[in-house]
Structure 1
Amino acid sequence: MRAAIGLHNLLQYAPTNLLLRWLRSRRGLKWGIPFMLLGATYLLTAALLATWLQHGGPSWLNLLVALGIWNGLKFLAFGPISLIRLGVIRLRESRQRKQSSSAHLTV
């Protein structure tokens, strides 16, 4: 159990996880759709590496193929999620602005 917790904590500092953490922030949500291109790039790279493997490439490339697929899917899935989260946040901010402006008018 401790090993799993340690591995989870270590993976929080992986470059793609740091980038996704920034993308989940209020400032980063607007970049969700453009970063789907990064996901597509990861998947394309994984496909090219898999082709190389099929034609006699070194077997350690399997790790890079799996990593490319995993990271690609993370970024591709986050694009639509970021749009939904951004819409919810903007709606909430709009409601707060309306409430604060109506409170100033009634006082």
Structure 2
Amino acid sequence: ADTYALCAALKACGQSSNAAYGECLHAYAEKTFLLRSVFVGSALVNMYKCIGKIEQSCRVFSEMPCRNIVTWTTIITVLVHAGRYKEGLMYFSDMSRWENLSDHYTIP
């Protein structure tokens, strides 16, 4: 599988709340080094949010080797949607400190 197929499968797992298959795909991404992709990482963060595993979303984000505006915005959005506003602001502060990445999608 390639990055795009894996992202689509992770989205399907999140939308259908299929935690078991989503976790299998996570393991597959680790074994095949597809987890290095910012797209796969963001898809995993979002998938874990959809199945109610916010801590796992945060763990995936913290272990990502590369981040961009999409990954930062994804984790901030996940936390805000979960009602974890202070954490979302902390991540925003970290993003602003480490990288000048915020855009009109991060702060509407």
Tell me the TM-score normalized by structure 2.
0.32
Tell me the TM-score normalized by structure 1.
0.32
State the structure with more CA Rg: 1
Structure number with the bigger relative contact order (C-alpha 8 A, sep ≥ 6) is 1
